Structure 1
Amino acid sequence: MSRLDETFEALGPDDKAMGLFLTDGFPNPDATVPLLHAIDRGGADFIELGMPFSDPLAEGRPIQRASAQALSHDVTLVDTLHTVEAFREDSDTPLLLMGYVNPVFKYGVDGFCRDAAKAGVDGLILPDLPPQESDALCDAAAAHGLDLVFLIAPNTSDDRIRVVDQRATGFVYAVSVTGLTGSDLAETPSVEEYLMHAEDLVDQNPLLVGFGIKTHDDAMELSRHTDGFIVGSALINHVAALWESPEQSVPDRLAEVEAFARHLKSGAPTPAPPPRPAQG
């Protein structure tokens, strides 16, 4: 049983798993590992570490900016594996790499899965990998003990949802809106209806929802029909505001990030981040 499977098994009947996303190398390479530990202490049940990429397809502006910032520091895929190794020295929390398939192909599919597993990665999320074209990666991931997560969206057909559920391991990622990360949640019954329908169709994996979740209330509302939720852009925005504020020390910033994670998980109060400086 994988670390991710054990995490879902350990949840109580009313618990919701929380996954938090952070881009490697953001806001700078030295900050990533301390930030991973901060969100770990804040209650993350699993962590998604973004592999910086120059041409994202599903990311809104916050994660696009975080990726561009990381690339400006020359962060590579090998650096991301080193980040995982450093995080693994002090944590057993499941960690998945999220990114795009071209860098994995360039690295070499089997070699990447081998090195990712050796570094301590538990799974992969590659939104631009169609399940019907995933044989090579599915085989390599399975050979090296990695889960492989696939995504569904409100416009995904029933047949494709079933295929995704059959192909996926770890969990199925339900995108809440047909938009980009960080999109506002539509205040219509359609999101709930879609998640209820997905809940009926996905029976081989846990179902988690992401995109657009900014608060604990958002998380609880959307995860009523799923096993948990994932937050990325809201965390990225919070970190960006903290690191652009010169008044706070790094330990204070990390404490606020930990409090923000705890708020998302349990609704505990969290201080508002400082206002972001005006761009000149």
Structure 2
Amino acid sequence: MTTTSTSQVEQVISARRDAGSGALIGYLPVGFPDLQTSIDAAVALVENGVDILELGLPYSDPVMDGPVIQAATLKARENGFRLRDGFTAIREIRARVNAPVLIMTYWNPVLQYGVERFADALVEAGGAGLITPDLIPDEGADWLAASERTGLDRVFLAAPSSTDVRLRQAIEHSRGFVYTVSTMGVTGARIDVDAAAKTLVRRLREQGAEYACVGLGISTAEHVSQILSYADGAIVGSALVRALAEGGVSAVADAAASLAEGTAVQK
């Protein structure tokens, strides 16, 4: 049976947009440097201005991740990360803070776990949905069906190299937002966020996208402010992971608070 539940993520983004700002989305890998610290760090993000959480499942072949995130996910795997830890993390985070939690995962772990089983476990844990960087809509029939049945959000990626046809596919099949890749290549903080992001968001709007959030290369409040002048959300990953690696939970809390200053944008 197909559910008609409203997207948790869309509700948050819409509320932030209506308030004259935009959403701050923060990424951390589950299990880094250990499971409990990763849970505490995620909670700290929300307590310091992050609106939506993106939790990464460590994977053996993280081809789209930059060196900071790759090192963190390797550490998590070395420390015994198991896929079920992702569900544990969501459950414990949601018990402490009220923010939507998306899982960012490569598709193979979901296939290995079982698509329907994964979807049910994610719902039971209180998760909002999946970001699937290496899955395109026309190869994702099983996930589209499972997410329709459960009401989970499904976030597909759009890149500067995407054709208009691909953009329309991402828009049609995404629920929550379209993940707008600001630059070609892997993740990682950059001094300047590529101008390609603004062009890509404009193209997505022209194709009918309601919610477009920009990720890759965002590391400062200035970046966040710049992104939110034309997009619905700014996604920060490497800068937060680096803060956690170098200074623990208190440092990642400070980093989130600093980034959140960039959300005070008048549309």
Normalising by structure 2, report the TM-score: 0.91
Amino acid at match of 2:181: V
Give 1:250's aligned residue. Answer: none
Amino acid at match of 2:253: E
**Contact residue 181 and residue 197 of structure 2 kept, 8 A:** no
Give 2:245's aligned residue. Answer: 240
| CA deviation profile, 1:107-163 (whole Å, cap 9, x unmatched) | 000000001110111010110111111111011012112100000011111111011
Give 1:21's aligned residue. Answer: 27
What is the alpha-carbon distance in structure 1 between the residues aligned to residue 211 and residue 50 of structure 2?
16
Change (3 A) 1:188 1:70: closer
What is the alpha-carbon distance in structure 1 between the residues aligned to residue 189 and residue 246 of structure 2?
19
Give 1:165's aligned residue. Answer: 171
| CA deviation profile, 1:32-68 (whole Å, cap 9, x unmatched) | 1111110010111100001010101210001101110
**Identity rate, percent:** 33
Amino acid at match of 1:206: Y
Unaligned runs of 5+ in 2: 1-5
Whether 2:25 is the aligned partner of 1:30: answer no
What is the alpha-carbon distance in structure 2 between the residues aligned to residue 188 and residue 36 of structure 1?
27
Whether 2:258 is the aligned partner of 1:263: answer yes
> Larger Cα Rg: Structure 1 or Structure 2?
1
What is the alpha-carbon distance in structure 2 between the residues aligned to residue 181 and residue 113 of structure 1?
26
What is the alpha-carbon distance in structure 2 between the residues aligned to residue 185 and residue 202 of structure 1?
30
Give 2:3's aligned residue. Answer: none
What is the alpha-carbon distance in structure 2 between the residues aligned to residue 256 and residue 139 of structure 1?
40
Change (3 A) 1:195 1:186: farther
Stretches of 4+ moved more than 4 A in 1?
A: 185-189
CA shift, 1:31, in A, is 0.4
Whether 2:170 is the aligned partner of 1:175: answer no
Pairing partner for 2:211 from 188, 203, 206? 206
What is the alpha-carbon distance in structure 2 between the residues aligned to residue 216 and residue 88 of structure 1?
26
Secondary structure of 2:55's match?
Answer: strand
Pairing partner for 1:90 from 87, 96, 111? 96
What is the alpha-carbon distance in structure 2 between the residues aligned to residue 19 and residue 212 of structure 1?
13
Unaligned runs of 5+ in 1: 244-253, 269-280
Give 2:231's aligned residue. Answer: 226
Give 1:248's aligned residue. Answer: none
What is the alpha-carbon distance in structure 1 between the residues aligned to residue 194 and residue 70 of structure 2?
27
Two-structure CA RMSD over aligned residues (Å): 1.7
Give 2:117's aligned residue. Answer: 111
